[in-house]
Structure 1
Amino acid sequence: MTLNFVKMHAHGDDFVVIDLRGQSDPITAQVARRLGDRHRGIGFNQLALVLDCEDAAARIRFWNPDGSVLDTCGSATRGVADMLMREAGTSSIVLRTQRGLLTCARASGQQVSVDMGQPLLDWQAIPLAQAMDTYHLPLPGSPAACSMGNPHCTFFVEDLASIDVAGMGPKIETDPLFPSKTNVHFVQIIDRNRIRLRIWERGGGIPQGSGSCCCGAVVNGIRRGLLDDTVEVACDGGTVTVQWDGVGGVVLIGSVEVTLRGAVADHLLGR
């Protein structure tokens, strides 16, 4: 069986999509690591598998390049939505992830939006190791925490250029406070509708961008009273928009782009 893939990116956040509808799923943690190797495989921040689903257009399963599974990826969800909306000739679509049913739609300028669902704000749901105020965690810098289906820890800083993301990120990711590890954000607020964001991604290192991290950072900024309900987020790889009314689902809006198409070599699948 030839396994075809499409590689895409959303504001530099690159991901690989493999359509397995009507087929068996050959991807294991070992295969995901092989495919995620940027020198010997394809390379990606996330791998998205498109699977059959009874109550949505498709179900998506996500892998990190280190072979770990994640529940959500805003960039890859929008990429899959873009592909399937073009295939079906529709302007909206519903996809299932571990976060539940997510509604995606064509936005202005051929952008794609996804309602990522309500953020999880309770310490147990994030999860944290013990009961505490999730607005101000007991860590240097007093970050805030939430979950978008994966945990997020947000530091608000005066000068983003002075932050050693590669040095601080892995230490926070693996802090005992986070039993499932965490994504780490460093946010410099430009004004109430614009932020600059750099990320240490759980299981992935420093990406050019991350849809769920953009959502988590904005949610924590709104909770702190620092941001309005529509925020432009500038990452290393480009800009997206995040909207949250403080009650309902968090909407992520931005462009997606195909970079290449190909077929997975048999040896990467262990064949």
Structure 2
Amino acid sequence: MTMLETEALAPSQDRELVLAVRHGRGRTGGSTFADYVIQRTRRGGREIIVGDGDRRNATLAGLYPPGTEGGALQPPSDQTPDVKDWIGQLVGKMVEEQSSLIFDLGGGDQALAEFCRELSLAEFCESVGVVPLSVYMTGPDMDDFEHILTIHRSKLFETKRSMLVLNESLVRAGKTPEGAFDAILERDEILEMIDDGVEIVLMPRIIHIAEVRKAGLSFYDAVEGKKGRDGKPLDPLKRFSIKTWLDRMESQLASKKLAGWLP
């Protein structure tokens, strides 16, 4: 069996509850990574609450419509006090329902920072048996990296488990992923993050995501040839492309022994 067939189907009772928080600027692929985590978790028969705090670009709410079963939950506005109250409500829901939780705040890390100043969210999670996970998203743009470096150094949401996800989809045409990220990977600050326990993961370029979204399919349903909104499955080449991406994601996680970090 491939990793795609095994890792995502690990028994629910063998998994820890996780609070995964995506950090980083908009357009760095955080919603795509969050969607992958949500699909992977639910495919394995595990529960996860979806929090979409990006009111201006509500990608997860579009994929998981609010009000439907398993739908995303949103704050009433993008104002910091509303987002802080919403974070508290979802954390409470996580504990009450004994479910994992994933936040996508877009670029709105300020609300989380203020929340964590008032209450150490990471310490609270550990006190109730939930493992906090930081997911730092960046492309090769140095400003993207500087943004997450500032968040990491603030230590407001200091977690024992952290991933720095390098999004290959943001690499300009004509550059290799490795070469595109060299300027970031050669910085002394990378060693600083690694010393703090941050693991580096490359998220491969996903070519046919637009077709999957248009068809209304999950990545896994697309690979299995299920029919989309138009009554047709994706063609074999596109299905193979998505399967290759999923397998590469699992390979990245397995090679660094990070699969168990996800919900």
Common fold: TM-score over 0.5 = no
TM-score (norm 2): 0.25
* Structure richer in strand, relative to its length: 1
